[in-house]
Amino acid sequence: MDALVEELPAEAGVVLDLVVGAAVAYATVVRANRVLSSGAAYLHGVCVAVLLQAIAFVTLVLVSQQSQGSTIVDVGLFHFASVVRSDFHLLHRLSALIVRTLIDSATAEVLLLLLVATLIFAIVAPRRLRRSVL
């Protein structure tokens, strides 16, 4: 195998083929074992949860941009999050009077789009890999 790999031309396409081949081989081994398969699914679920929370954070920032005052997220008695504008914040009141820069909404939207694209990739990739293995 070593000799075969060394004889191959050092091109980007060949490297990509080798990486995809290794991924498919790993996926085949993981899918053949029930416990490994469950572990991989657990890891996948945690990754999706992290992406969803990152999307929620950026969405909160974008929504707070629409309101003039503070945005507060409460569920019953529990305070989850709040978005306080700088000029309402005691510590930064003085500096905010001098420097007042609003968030560039476009940056937040680009971040949100990137996160959604990553989430779609994370959900679709295992199915694609399963199809390619079968």
Partner 1 sequence: MRRTSAAGYSLLLAIVTVAIAEAALWALLVVFSYILRIGLTLDLGSASLGFQPNPPAGPIVQLFEPAAITSVLFCAGCGAIAGARAFRNWRPAP
Question: What residue ranges bind partner 1 (CB under 8 A)?
Answer: 28, 31-32, 34-35, 37-50, 52-54, 57-58, 60-61, 64, 73, 75, 78-86, 89, 92, 95-96, 99-104, 107-108, 111
The least CB distance from residue 113 to partner 1, in Å, is 13
92/108 Cα distance (integer angstroms): 23
* Shorter beta-carbon distance to partner 1: residue 14 or 43: 43
Nearer to partner 1, 12 or 99 (CB): 99
- Residue 126 one-letter amino acid: P
Beta-carbon contacts of 61 under 8 Å, excluding residues fewer than 6 positions away, are: 83, 103, 108
Q: At what angle do helices 34-66 and 12-32 cross, to 10 degrees?
A: 110
Q: How far is the CB of 128 from partner 1 (least distance, A)?
A: 17
Q: Is 115 helix (H, G, I), strand (E, B) or coil?
A: helix
CB of 32 to partner 1, least distance (A): 6
State in angstroms the smallest separation of the CB of 17 from partner 1. 23
Q: How far apart are the first and last CA of the chain?
A: 24
